Amino acid sequence: MPDALLEVCDLSVSFRTENGVVRAVDGLSLSLALGEVVGIVGESGSGKTVSMMAVMGLIRDPNAVIEGQVLLRGRDLMQLPRNEMRLVRGGEIAMIFQDPMTALTPVYTVGWQIAEQLRAHQAMTRKQARARVAELLAEVGISNPGRRLDDYPHQFSGGMRQRVMIAMALSCNPSILIADEPTTALDVTIQAQILELMKRLQRDHGSSILLITHDMGVVSDLAERVAVMYAGSVVEEGSKADVFRDPQHPYTWGLLGSIPRVGRPRVRRLAAIPGLPPSLIDPPEGCRFAPRCPHRFDRCSVRPELAPRVSANRLDACHLDPAIRPSLRHRSVA
Amino acid sequence: MSETLLEARDLVKHFPVRRSKDMVHAVDGVSLEVHRGETLGIVGESGCGKSTLGRLLVRLHDPTSGTVRFRGDDITKLSRRELRPYRREMQMIFQDPYASLNPRKRVGQIVSDPFQIHRAGSREETRRRVQELLEVVGLSPHHVNRYPHEFSGGQRQRIGVARALALSPQLIVADEPVSALDVSIQAQVINLLDDLQDDFQLTYVFIAHDLGVVHHVSDRIAVMYLGVVVEIGPSDPLFLHPIHPYTEALLSAIPPIEADDEARRERIVLRGEVPSPIDPPSGCRFHPRCRYATEICSVEEPVLADHGGGRFAACHHPLDAKGA
Ligand SMILES: Nc1ncnc2c1ncn2[C@@H]1O[C@H](COP(=O)(O)OP(=O)(O)OP(=O)(O)O)[C@@H](O)[C@H]1O
Ligand SMILES: Nc1ncnc2c1ncn2[C@@H]1O[C@H](COP(=O)(O)OP(=O)(O)OP(=O)(O)O)[C@@H](O)[C@H]1O
Ligand code: SF4
Ligand SMILES: [Mg+2]
Ligand SMILES: [Mg+2]
């Protein structure tokens, strides 16, 4: 893809532990075009956070082994010295962390922390920074920002902490925003407000967004393209409409079948994909989903590649004949 | 209706604001009952006081005023030691799975701590229970040796769930227990909570912002706005025909999913500033943002009025709930 702004090529991240090597990310490839919003959904523990922390150069675990390439406008971020990477972070690429306390420290006030972040990237006086912080807090829906900015993080509610971090990430209008579960702690009305801020960033600054979320409604609202992850790599990718209306991979069928919906009759039991998530220490050979897949057959002992099998812009990693998938799918999610 | 397990009367919790005499009115007069074996869902805007209320209910916060009764016993003023036998029966799953797990302890230790604190079971028994608990929340046995930072967000959340279930409590206040989980594992955890409820008559107070999840799990739902309960009642009618305008606005904001055929519902955008819990609006706290507000709304605080069928709402212009 010539116009890719960010390209992740065959990224792998493993951790050495007492019980063996955990293959957290296992051959992940993904690209993000200028001004595009890509949604990443997938199983809990499938490597979404670890892969994005690797892109940001933020994996600090000494037992980690990282391989592959992360190209930003063609420049490999994995080769950048630490100090240059620090400039890229917070300037060109910003991240909303799944854990707000990755970005916040408990010992300084909320206002001080955002102000520092602002002053690291823009010349302004303390007073100007303080005024700007109040504005930013108001934008993410925190009332009485002028009085609340002297609070410490523990004095904020879970969702308020999350919004503080969003305000920090948006403060420098990054070209790429990586948002890891940005709205998990927010109710739907404030969520809508935050999604609006993200759209504005994209619209007014032409920024690209990588949005990790398990909330299909949020993906629907924001993303143009969707990638589905399972056990360390992408198993399906395509336009939002294609992935939601015509999913190709059996894991995606199970995933979409598990969503409880408002406005539908309540079911007694939610559908869950049977079986345990795979161990990443000795991942199954062949298709990682095979042990839980009701449709596996002999070919599945060879790992399927992520490739176009249905049409040029539709990628999946499943050996099933595309022609028989629709009937299998309807049987499995009846 | 079955027996009342937990009862809150006029609960208030105010926090001081730094560098001023102001107070954050986090919870500002909440009364409710939780019946044995039911699930009471709590929903509301971020910062409206849900977690604070949850902590008050299991007495992890001392209320500014008001009372909490557990099985009829007033536990509001009990000392730490007197509270101990109750602690075992009332567990909380914390909203923040990061902050609530000790980073220096291995997961096996974290989940077995409750057994040791309450001297329940032999070493061998404890070990077996811990393995079982981890398995039911979808973690594998070799995870016991890992530290919290070595887990994904959703995995940490499940560690919190396992810890809360350890001593088979009667009441669990679950604060956003599945918010970091993908929908399939979320379904597993919810089904598990369901099974435990069926088998042991467990009672849940379930705080969540995912309305689909709340609707699924809850028998009754309480809707909070700025420190007070504005509507409470059985789950289905509340979702189908909200009585309080804030409930209506909240439900209208759920983003639809692409694959859903139904046309986009009208989304009610709330006008006006997000109100402040430092000086809440006069009268009905929702009036500055309410599309039905009239003069009386800014003057007189509406009380939770009985609308029949177990439904209560605090509004001067309740929406028609006839369909219910
Ligand atoms: N420091 C570490 N040491 C060992 N294993 C790790 C470490 N960090 C993460 N892992 C493992 O790597 C896998 C991927 O974790 P990651 O946080 O990327 O998942 P995720 O897709 O973001 O999940 P969630 O949706 O639950 O946040 C998990 O199985 C996790 O247990
Ligand atoms: N320890 C504390 N000190 C000071 N203020 C606090 C403290 N805990 C909570 N607050 C304030 O009380 C209000 C209610 O917070 P609470 O955590 O109960 O909200 P919540 O409904 O759980 O929100 P969320 O959905 O974002 O988790 C907020 O304004 C918060 O800043
Ligand atoms: S490759 Fe085989 S096992 Fe994997 S999802 Fe497809 S059918 Fe199932
Ligand atoms: Mg994650
Ligand atoms: Mg909370």
Residues at CB less than 6 angstroms from ligand 2: A 154-160, 185; B 15, 24, 26, 44, 46-52, 95, 277
Q: What percent of chain B has pLDDT over 70?
A: 94
The per-residue pLDDT for A334 is 41
Minimum CA distance residue for ligand 2 atom 25? B46
**A186 within ligand 3 shell (Cβ under 6 A):** no
Tell me, what's the ipTM?
Answer: 0.84
Cα B239 to Cα A176: distance, rounded to the nearest angstrom: 38
The per-residue pLDDT for B162 is 92
Whose atoms come closest to the Cα of B153: which ligand?
1
The letter for the amino acid at B275 is P
Structure token pair of residue B43: 């929903």
| Domain-located, residue B113 | no
Q: How many CA atoms lie within 13 A of B95 on its CB side?
A: 28
| Domain-located, residue B275 | yes
Cα B182 to Cα A259: distance, rounded to the nearest angstrom: 9
Q: How many CA atoms lie within 13 A of B246 on its CB side?
A: 26
Vertex A63, ends A59 and A69: CA angle to 5°?
Answer: 50
Backbone angles phi, psi at A173, to 5 degrees: 45, 65
On the question of pLDDT at A281 being above 80, the answer is yes
The per-residue pLDDT for B230 is 97
Structure token pair of residue B139: 């973690």
Do B274 and A98 make contact, defined as CB atoms within 8 angstroms?
Answer: no
Average pLDDT estimate for B26-44: 96
The per-residue pLDDT for B272 is 66
CB B114 within 8 A of CB B161: no
For chain A, give the number of residues: 334
A53-106 confidence digits (pLDDT tens): 999 999 989 999 999 999 999 999 999 998 899 889 878 999 999 988 888 988
- The residue segments making up the domain with residue B255 are 4-89+169-313
CB burial of A85-111 (b: ≥16 within 10 Å; e: otherwise) equals beebbbebbbbbbbbbebbbeeeebbb
User: Mean pLDDT across chain A, nearest whole number?
Assistant: 91
**A5 within ligand 3 shell (Cβ under 6 A):** no
Q: Which of A192-201, A315-324, B121-130 has the highest mean pLDDT?
A: A315-324
The per-residue pLDDT for A66 is 97
- Residue B59: pLDDT band (50, 70, 90) is very high
Q: What percent of chain B has pLDDT over 90?
A: 59
Whose CA is closest to B127, among B155, B108, B104, B102?
Answer: B108
| Domain-located, residue B137 | no
Grouping H, G, I as helix, E, B as strand and the rest as coil, residue B195 is helix
Average pLDDT estimate for A107-123: 90
Whose atoms come closest to the Cα of A190: which ligand?
2
| Domain-located, residue B122 | no
The per-residue pLDDT for A185 is 84
On the question of pLDDT at A15 being above 80, the answer is yes
| B248 alpha-carbon distance from chain centroid | 20
Our count of domains for chain B comes to 1
**A287 within ligand 3 shell (Cβ under 6 A):** yes
Pick the more confident residue, B12 or B84.
Answer: B12
The DSSP-derived string for A124-169 is --HHHHHHHHHHHHHHTT-SSHHHHTTS-GGGS-HHHHHHHHHHHH
| A282 alpha-carbon distance from chain centroid | 25
Q: What percent of chain A has pLDDT over 90?
A: 69
Cα A166 to Cα A182: distance, rounded to the nearest angstrom: 7
Cα B308 to Cα A138: distance, rounded to the nearest angstrom: 40
Minimum CA distance residue for ligand 3 atom 2? A296
Among all residues of chain A, which has the CA nearest to that of B145? A18
| Domain-located, residue B100 | no
The per-residue pLDDT for A230 is 95
On the question of pLDDT at B87 being above 60, the answer is yes
Minimum CA distance residue for ligand 1 atom 27? B153
Cα B275 to Cα B288: distance, rounded to the nearest angstrom: 8
The per-residue pLDDT for B245 is 96
B234 contacts in A (CB within 8 Å)? Answer: none
**B112 within ligand 1 shell (Cβ under 6 A):** no
Asked which of A260-269, B64-73, B294-303, B310-319 is least confident by mean pLDDT, the reply is: A260-269
The per-residue pLDDT for B75 is 96
The per-residue pLDDT for B261 is 46
Q: How far does the CA of residue B78 sit from the closest CA of chain A (Å)? A: 25
B130-158 confidence digits (pLDDT tens): 998 898 888 888 889 999 989 988 888 88
| Domain-located, residue B297 | yes
- Residue B185: pLDDT band (50, 70, 90) is confident
Residue of A11, A13, A16, A22 with the most ligand 1 atoms within 8 Å of its CB, for mutation? A22
Cα A334 to Cα A257: distance, rounded to the nearest angstrom: 9
Q: In CATH, what number is assigned to the domain containing residue B241?
A: 3.40.50.300
The per-residue pLDDT for B1 is 57
Q: What percent of chain A has pLDDT over 70?
A: 96
Grouping H, G, I as helix, E, B as strand and the rest as coil, residue B251 is helix
Cα B122 to Cα B128: distance, rounded to the nearest angstrom: 10
Vertex B132, ends B173 and A282: CA angle to 5°?
Answer: 115
The per-residue pLDDT for B324 is 38
| A220 alpha-carbon distance from chain centroid | 14
A207-266 confidence digits (pLDDT tens): 999 999 999 889 999 999 999 999 999 999 999 999 999 999 999 999 988 777 666 566
Cα B174 to Cα B190: distance, rounded to the nearest angstrom: 11
The per-residue pLDDT for B273 is 67
| Domain-located, residue B217 | yes
B237-296 confidence digits (pLDDT tens): 999 999 999 999 988 877 666 545 454 556 777 766 678 888 899 999 999 999 999 999
Whose CA is closest to B219, among B231, B204, B208, B229?
Answer: B204
Q: Which of A294-303, A324-333, B11-20 has the highest mean pLDDT?
A: A294-303
Average pLDDT estimate for B120-131: 87
**A44 within ligand 1 shell (Cβ under 6 A):** yes
pTM score: 0.89
| Domain-located, residue B301 | yes
